[in-house]
Structure 1
Amino acid sequence: MDWILSGEKIRCSVAEKPAISRLSASGTPALHAACGRYRAKRNRTMASHRIPSRGWAVITFIGFLSVVISSSGVAQQSTALSVLTTAIDKEVESDLFDGAIAAVVVRDCLTDRVLYEQHADLLLRPASNAKLFTSAAAFLSLPRTYSMETTAGVLDSGRRVLRCSGGADPLLTVQDIQKLAEIAAPTIDSTLDTLYMDASLLNDNFYGSGWMWDDESDPFMPFLNAFSLEGNSIRISMKSPSKRGLPVEVSVFPSSNMITVENMLLSGRRTRIDVTKQPRSNNIVLRGTLAAGKRRTNTVSMWRPQDIVAEMLLDQLRQNGINVDSTVVVHSEGCGVPLALHSVGHDLKEVLAEMNKESDNLCAEMALRHLAVFRGAKSGVRDKDGLAAMTSVLARNGLDLDGLHLKDGSGISFYNLVTARCISDLLSMMSRHKDFQLYAATLAVGGRSGTLEGRMKDLSKGQMFWGKTGTISGVSALSGYAQAPQGRLVSVVMLMQNFAGKHKPYREVQDRIVRHCITYSAALKSVRKPQ
């Protein structure tokens, strides 16, 4: 009998059907070998296996259907893979990458098969794709109920000494400080003598290893301290009058006496604004013009947020009836055990979502350090402690660490090096986790949320991409999961770097590769989700 696989005719007897059914997906050479082996065995045993002619007819029909279906599936997958490979090759072989590097790995999450790879083992800078490792380690090791809390409590029976302890909460807000003051005020005597600001949970290194000193004023490089406030950034709001040549109205948030603004802005015909924050201070200088009748918002980093938190806490205690006019602020943990602790904080789910969806660097660095805190570190926690905890968690969950060399948790460091294969291995590992859907929910969604809200706007209904972007000078990265409606889940990693100029052309290539992966996903329908 003749069997057809990938257009090739193979002559085998009906009795060889079981071998063909098992090995049809292995390819034509395997089928030829199976036919020969089965025929030799059958010749030795046929006398003892008499099968009625009607039975042979049934077996023949079932065998025919089995091979046709199996062959059809293999052919369909082979065609889809060929289309995917050709499409990605076309993208990464364009003139755009003359002098630049594109490392790409695409993987089928259901079978764990690598579908495409280029430069998969080159050590490259991941930018914010480093957050995928930080968030995965936090997701795998910290309890779902884990909270990062700032606490306050009186230290003496006279209730005139208060200790406020920073809990490395990256999402601490002005409203949180107000709430903390409201719940702590009733426990304090009418006058507060001393306020201890305990920031001992973290060490004194306020920037990470390999961070650029001249990026200090940029909000993407946050000051690191156990006390954070409003993302450790200062928002400057500018409003220009309708007539030209007049002073521009300026306000800052959060409002603090420790933040000063030298405003030399005037309303004009066009907008040309220079915002400068003097090094290691919160002194801001504004120069230039803002188009008449227009508004503008800029953001700069905050220097020593712990000082502003202390000022704000005292102000809120005053508003709650506490005399703080002669309060001495001491930046230490103080002594004694608080009579009662009051806290405000944010849970792990909020922090991971802000880290991955919005690519928040402060959230990533605080989450990294909390990995060490959860392991028992009590004070002076360093980035190295968090990195040791992170690699331990990932290795314990089966990740090969040969391609992972991180110096921080956010991806800011210029010392970070990772291979595309290592990121692909991580995505594959997470796709098999029982709570994978919760992890995927922390990622930005193409055309819908986070740093991908303005990209992939043309994705059809049901077409999905959950991913993490990465952007620093000369580097553009995108990694995540692509899936068509009811299609196969596919992971894709793209690290593009060593280019000069704008990031936009490289992002456009990344978005097109995502669409190619969704097309492949649609060709391999599968309702089964990774477990």
Structure 2
Amino acid sequence: MRKLFTGLLLILSFNLSLFAQLTRDQYLKLESALGEDSFFNGHLTGFMLYDLDSQMVLYEKNSHQRFIPASTTKLFTLFSSLVVLNDSTQTLRYVTDGNTIKIWGSGDPSWKYKTLYQPDFQEFLAPYETIVFSDANMMSPAFGYGWQWDDYYYNYSAERSSLPIYGNLVKVKKVGNAPTVFPPSFQADVFPTNRTIRELERDFHSNKFYYNPNNFRAREEFIPFITSPELLMQLASDVTGKNWIYEPDSLPTLHQEWRGAPLFPILKEMMLESDNFLAEQLMLMVSDRLFQRLDTERAIEYMLKTYLYDLPDEPQWVDGSGLSRHDLFTPRTMVALFEKIYRMLPDQQLFELLPAGGRAGTLENSYKAEQPYIFAKTGTMSNNHSLVGLVRGKSGRYYCFAFMNSNYPWKASEVRREMEKVMVMVREMV
């Protein structure tokens, strides 16, 4: 028995020795790369490198400090969606009465948006002549807490709604010196102006759009429109050929559900392209599944108290996309969250969801190498840039990391360039 016990200890000791540990020289190199005499000393920087196999922290710097995470917030939305929504969207809740159906939207963003799988509204609504729509279950406002007001005419700031169509966006195409817009019902509200603008711009308070024929470029392909029940009735009627009526009644206890689209393509688009609209709608669907009402704040509170109660530092989490500057997370919390996702998903699915350095998504043009070594979610906002995910070392093994930067005065491209030097160093070390 003594020999057997000794043998087991030797095997365990050998296996533990296989886990990559930083030597003193390697540790000092990272200290120098991130320390007082480095580029990163000019602003707040936090970093953590974590061995997923041994569950050991190999290196950390300021990992307890809170940072504005920007779009790395979408990792929280991804986790919530995986836990609560399972494999499909929650598109509608409804009741029927003869040839009339009354519906409550559940936040599904798919309808006429990008190339996402389309819920078959035509088939679903075919037995009914009249569709009565209610948004009384929508508790969250169109914009999130802390979003910048002057982002209202950029496509990354589309409004949230219970039953969006076209992603709540107008598509713009240049024909001659003028814009042609889609859906075509918006064309009558497009006007020329002498203002020195280069793109089609929407009025702050209305769905009126303006362009300068002398300067029009049409580089902004999509522009958010102001949502309203009346506008939805018009657009939905045009698409379905049915009569839509707005009656904001409460959702009855007895009702049916329609789950219209697979979830994974939406998660993949959100993660690879950092799609804010999809992230916000996903959190609305999470709330709908939990509470039968669309309330992002309540859904976040629930997730933090249940599945995320054990994170190292309590997150200040306020939206699904990371558009808000009120979001605040620490690097070690981001690592702990990512480990939960890593343990939950099969490797193949996880790598499909993550941007890959030099290959896919928001990392297509950075962290280039013959073999991709960075698989991570990016997050960029003026004066803030973060990266959270996996780094593959020269050993072929994967390590989790969080690299967060706030309050820098330089361009994000300069910060990314310096971050890349550090991550190449890490790759060679492990």
TM-score of Structure 1 vs Structure 2, range by shorter chain: 0.7 to 0.9
Give the drift of 1:452: 1.2
Report the equivalent of 1:507.
Answer: 416
Work out whether 1:391 is the aligned partner of 2:391: no
Q: 1:513 to 1:235 in 2, by over 3 A?
A: farther
Report the equivalent of 1:299.
Answer: 222
| 1:324-366 superposed Cα distances (whole Å, 9 cap, x missing partner) | 5xx7x32424899999x89573222122212211111122222
Work out whether 1:476 is the aligned partner of 2:385: yes
CA distance in 2, matches of 1:516, 1:411: 29
Task: Check whether the contact 2:312–2:336 (CA below 8 A) recurs between aligned residues.
Answer: no
Q: 1:307 to 1:504 in 2, by over 3 A?
A: farther
Q: List alignment gaps of at least 5 residues for structure 1.
A: 1-14, 26-65, 241-247, 522-531
Report the equivalent of 2:403.
Answer: 494
CA distance in 2, matches of 1:206, 1:493: 31
Give the drift of 1:478: 0.8
**66, 70, 75: which one pairs with 1:132?**
75
Give the drift of 1:302: 2.1
Work out whether 1:163 is the aligned partner of 2:102: yes
Work out whether 1:210 is the aligned partner of 2:146: yes
Give the drift of 1:446: 1.5
After TM superposition, the score normalised by the length of structure 1 is 0.70
CA distance in 2, matches of 1:287, 1:94: 49
Report the equivalent of 1:9.
Answer: none
Aligned residue type for 1:125 = I
CA distance in 2, matches of 1:473, 1:258: 33
CA distance in 2, matches of 1:121, 1:438: 30
CA distance in 1, matches of 2:347, 2:188: 43
Q: Report how many residues are paired.
A: 423
Q: 1:484 to 1:156 in 2, by over 3 A?
A: same
Give the drift of 1:290: 4.8
Task: Check whether the contact 1:446–1:466 (CA below 8 A) recurs between aligned residues.
Answer: yes
SS of the residue aligned with 2:415?
Answer: helix
Matches within 5 A, 1:93-104: 93=36, 96-104=39-47
**239, 243, 253: which one pairs with 1:316?**
239
CA distance in 2, matches of 1:88, 1:389: 38
Work out whether 1:254 is the aligned partner of 2:190: no
CA distance in 2, matches of 1:429, 1:179: 34
SS of the residue aligned with 1:441?
Answer: helix
CA distance in 2, matches of 1:455, 1:237: 29
| 1:229-279 superposed Cα distances (whole Å, 9 cap, x missing partner) | 232222211144xxxxxxx1321133324872113599xxxx971442111
| 1:352-388 superposed Cα distances (whole Å, 9 cap, x missing partner) | 212211111122222223333332x123x32221102
Report the equivalent of 2:265.
Answer: 350
SS of the residue aligned with 1:252?
Answer: strand
CA distance in 1, matches of 2:40, 2:183: 44
Give the drift of 1:223: 0.8
Q: Greater Rg, structure 1 or structure 2? A: 1
SS of the residue aligned with 2:226?
Answer: coil
CA distance in 2, matches of 1:437, 1:236: 36
Task: Check whether the contact 1:478–1:510 (CA below 8 A) recurs between aligned residues.
Answer: no
Report the equivalent of 1:115.
Answer: 58
| 1:144-172 superposed Cα distances (whole Å, 9 cap, x missing partner) | x232314677x443x2x443432201222
Task: Check whether the contact 1:282–1:303 (CA below 8 A) recurs between aligned residues.
Answer: yes
Task: Check whether the contact 2:47–2:401 (CA below 8 A) recurs between aligned residues.
Answer: yes
Percent identical pairs in the alignment equals: 21
Work out whether 1:435 is the aligned partner of 2:356: no
Aligned residue type for 1:389 = Y
Give the drift of 1:77: 4.5
Q: List alignment gaps of at least 5 residues for structure 2.
A: none
Aligned residue type for 1:167 = S
Report the equivalent of 1:281.
Answer: 206
The answer to which of 400-409 and 428-437 deviates more is 428-437
Matches within 5 A, 1:11-410: 22=10, 77-79=21-23, 82-83=25-26, 86-87=29-30, 89-90=32-33, 93=36, 96-143=39-86, 145-150=87-92, 155-157=96-98, 159=99, 161-173=100-112, 179-181=120-122, 183-185=124-126, 187-189=127-129, 192=130, 195-203=131-139, 205-240=141-176, 248-257=177-186, 260-264=189-193, 273-287=198-212, 289-290=214-215, 296-304=219-227, 306-318=229-241, 329-333=245-249, 345-375=260-290, 377-379=291-293, 381-395=294-308, 399-400=310-311, 402-410=313-321
Q: Where do 4+ consecutive residues of structure 1 move more than 6 Å?
A: 174-178, 334-339
